[in-house]
C-alpha cells in the first residue's frame, strides 16, 4: 500500500463547537515547563552539557565537559524564576499545567510541594530533558515507563498528561500504548483537541505550541523584550477571542520556562498579557487536564470511516459503484497515495475523479454509456442500481404521467442518437421541470460540448453519492 500517514485535513471546515464551560469564547491555557535538573549534564550521566533553550545565543553542547554557565542558567530557573512565576499565578488564581521532567522533579522537592499546594496539574515531560530523535524504540519505551514510575514516586500520583518535547517519530504511539495517559501534547497541529486512533485505542491529543511560547527568547526569529512577547500574546488572544465571538471557538496555549520568562525583564510582558485577558469576559483559564476532562465528556470519541485504510478488495466493494458500473475507477484510486485527507467525501471523490479524468476518451465514454436513461426502460423494469433508483425517485421520475413518460422516451432517443451516450445530469440538483428544461437545451449542443458536460455531471453524481456514504 502506498499510504501517506500525515493528517492534512483535521476537522477541515467542520470544526466542532468546544462548548467551553459557562459559554467561554476562548480557553487560555498556561504551561510551565519544569526542566531544571533534568537537562543534559555530566552529573546526570550524559555525554556532554546542555545546549538548548538558554540565554546563551547559539550555544552548543560541550562533549565530555560540564558547562558552568549553562548549569547556572538552568539553576536560576529553579532557584528564582519558578518562585517568581509561582507568586504571579497564585496571586491571580490562575492554575498552571506543569510539564515536569521526572528527574528534575525528583531534584526539586520544595517546588513540587508548591505545585501541589497550588493545585497545579503536574503532567509528565519525560524522564530526562534530552533528545529522543535517535533513541531506539525499545529504549524510548523503557524511558517512558521509568518516567511514569519515577513521577508517581516523586509526586504521589501518576501523570495524566504527557509532553516529551524533544520527541522522536515514535513518541506519541509509544506513550499511547501505555494506556494510562489521558492526553498527549506532542503535536502542534490544531487549535482544538482531537481524538487519534493509536494502537487500538482512542487517544486524546491536546496540541501544544512553539509559537506563543517564551522559548523564542532563546532563538531567531524571537523575542527581544518582554513587550515583544506580551504584544504577540495579546494579538493571538484578540484574534481567537474575536473568532470565538463569531462561533469559531478555540484554545490558546502559552508555553513558559522558569529560566526564561522567570527573568524580571521578560516577565513584564507576561504580566501585560494577564492584565489584558483579565479585562475580557468569557475567558476560561483551565489546566490541561481540565480541558481533557471536558473534551472527553463533551466530545467523546466516535467511530470514524477510514477509507484510506481499507484493503483493495474492501475499497472496491464499497466504492466500485460510485462511478456507475465502473469498478476499475475505484481500483485505480486505491493505488494512489491515500491518507487521512482521503477519509472524507472530498478526499475519496478526488481520488476517484483523478482516475476518471486521466482515463482515455474511450474509457470515459464507456462510463457515460454505463449510465441509464432518465425514466427509461431499465427504470420501468426496476433494473437500475440502488443509487440510480433512489436518485431518479428523488426527482419524481418514478411517478410520471403517461405523457411525461413519452416525452422522456422521445428525448432520450433523440439525445442518444445524436451524441452516442445518454443524457447525464445530477438529478438531485433539479426538479422534474428543471430536468426537462436541461434536456431541451443540451440536446442541441455539439457532441464535444456535451461530452465535457456529461463528464462533469458524472463527477457531481459521484460526489453526491459519497456524501451519502460517508
Distance CA 424, CA 426 (A): 7
225-256 exposure pattern, b = at least 16 Cβ within 10 A, e = fewer: ebeebbbbbbebbeebbeebeeeebbbbbbbb
Nearest to 220 by CA among 31, 58, 59: 58
Segment holding 466, helix H or strand E = helix 447-469
44 contacts 103 by C-beta, under 8 angstroms: yes
User: How many beta carbons lie within 10 A of that of residue 431, not counting itself?
Assistant: 12
User: How many beta carbons lie within 10 A of that of residue 41, not counting itself?
Assistant: 20
375 contacts 397 by C-beta, under 8 angstroms: yes
| Residue carrying C-alpha cell 521526572 | 102
Helices 432-442 and 402-419, interaxial angle, to 10°? 30
Of 125, 132, 371, 419, the active-site residue reads: 371
Distance CA 128, CA 465 (A): 52
User: How many beta carbons lie within 10 A of that of residue 52, not counting itself?
Assistant: 19
Strand partners, 254: 30
Segment holding 462, helix H or strand E = helix 447-469
Helices 82-91 and 109-117, interaxial angle, to 10°? 10
Distance CA 340, CA 337 (A): 10
SS3 107: coil
Strand partners, 48: 63
Distance CA 27, CA 193 (A): 11
Please give the grid coordinates belonging to residue 396: 419524481
Measured CA distances, 327 to 290, 345, 461 (Å): 48, 18, 15
What is the residue-wise DSSP string for 46-86?
A: -SB---SSSSSTT----BTS--HHHHHHHHHIIIIIHHHHH
Nearest to 352 by CA among 213, 461, 199: 461
| Residue carrying C-alpha cell 479524468 | 357
Judge whether 371 counts as a catalytic residue.
yes
Q: What are phi and psi of 113, to 5 degrees?
A: -60, -45
Catalytic residue ranges: 371
Amino acid at each position: 500500500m502506498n499510504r501517506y500517514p500525515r493528517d492534512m485535513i483535521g476537522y477541515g471546515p467542520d470544526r466542532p463547537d468546544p462548548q467551553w464551560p459557562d459559554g467561554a469564547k476562548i480557553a487560555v491555557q498556561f504551561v510551565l515547563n519544569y526542566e531544571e535538573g533534568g537537562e543534559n549534564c555530566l552529573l546526570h550521566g550524559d555525554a556532554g552539557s546542555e545546549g538548548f533553550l538558554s540565554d546563551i545565543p547559539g550555544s552548543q553542547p560541550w562533549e565530555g565537559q560540564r558547562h558552568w554557565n549553562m548549569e547556572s542558567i538552568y539553576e536560576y530557573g529553579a532557584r528564582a524564576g519558578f518562585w517568581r512565576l509561582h507568586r504571579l499565578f497564585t496571586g491571580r488564581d490562575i492554575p498552571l499545567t506543569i510539564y515536569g521532567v521526572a528527574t528534575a522533579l525528583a531534584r526539586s522537592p520544595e517546588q513540587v510541594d508548591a505545585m501541589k499546594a497550588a493545585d497545579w496539574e503536574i503532567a509528565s515531560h519525560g524522564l530526562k530533558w534530552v533528545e529522543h530523535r535517535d533513541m531506539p524504540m525499545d529504549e524510548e519505551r523503557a524511558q517512558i515507563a521509568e518516567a511514569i514510575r519515577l513521577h508517581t514516586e516523586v509526586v504521589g500520583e501518576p501523570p495524566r498528561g504527557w509532553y516529551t518535547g524533544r520527541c522522536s517519530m515514535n513518541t506519541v504511539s509509544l506513550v499511547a500504548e501505555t494506556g494510562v495517559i489521558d492526553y498527549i501534547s506532542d503535536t502542534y497541529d490544531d487549535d482544538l483537541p482531537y481524538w487519534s486512533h493509536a494502537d487500538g485505542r482512542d487517544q486524546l491529543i491536546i496540541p501544544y505550541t512553539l509559537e506563543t511560547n517564551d522559548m523564542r527568547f532563546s532563538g531567531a526569529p524571537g523575542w527581544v523584550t518582554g513587550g515583544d512577547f506580551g504584544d504577540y500574546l495579546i494579538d493571538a488572544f484578540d484574534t481567537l477571542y474575536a473568532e470565538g465571538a463569531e462561533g469559531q471557538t478555540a484554545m490558546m496555549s502559552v508555553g513558559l520556562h522558569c529560566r526564561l520568562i522567570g527573568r524580571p525583564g521578560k516577565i513584564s510582558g507576561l504580566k501585560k498579557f494577564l492584565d489584558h485577558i483579565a479585562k475580557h469576559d468569557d475567558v476560561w483559564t483551565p489546566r490541561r487536564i481540565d480541558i481533557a476532562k471536558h473534551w472527553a465528556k463533551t466530545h467523546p470519541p466516535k467511530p470514524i470511516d477510514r477509507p484510506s485504510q481499507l484493503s483493495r478488495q474492501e475499497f472496491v466493494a464499497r466504492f466500485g459503484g460510485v462511478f456507475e458500473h465502473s469498478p476499475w475507477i475505484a481500483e485505480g484510486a486505491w493505488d494512489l497515495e491515500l491518507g487521512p485527507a482521503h477519509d472524507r467525501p472530498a478526499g475519496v471523490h478526488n481520488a476517484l475523479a483523478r482516475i476518471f479524468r486521466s482515463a482515455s476518451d474511450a474509457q470515459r465514454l464507456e462510463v457515460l454509456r454505463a449510465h441509464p436513461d432518465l425514466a427509461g426502460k431499465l427504470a420501468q423494469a426496476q433494473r437500475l442500481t440502488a443509487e440510480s433508483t433512489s436518485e431518479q425517485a428523488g426527482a419524481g421520475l418514478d411517478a410520471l404521467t403517461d405523457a411525461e413518460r413519452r416525452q422522456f422516451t422521445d428525448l432520450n432517443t433523440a439525445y442518444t442518437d445524436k451524441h452516442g451516450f445518454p443524457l447525464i445530469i445530477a438529478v438531485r440538483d433539479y426538479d422534474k421541470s428543471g430536468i426537462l428544461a436541461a434536456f431541451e437545451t443540451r440536446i442541441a449542443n455539439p457532441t464535444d460540448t456535451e461530452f465535457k458536460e456529461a463528464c462533469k455531471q458524472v463527477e457531481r453524481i459521484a460526489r453526491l453519492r459519497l456524501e451519502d456514504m460517508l
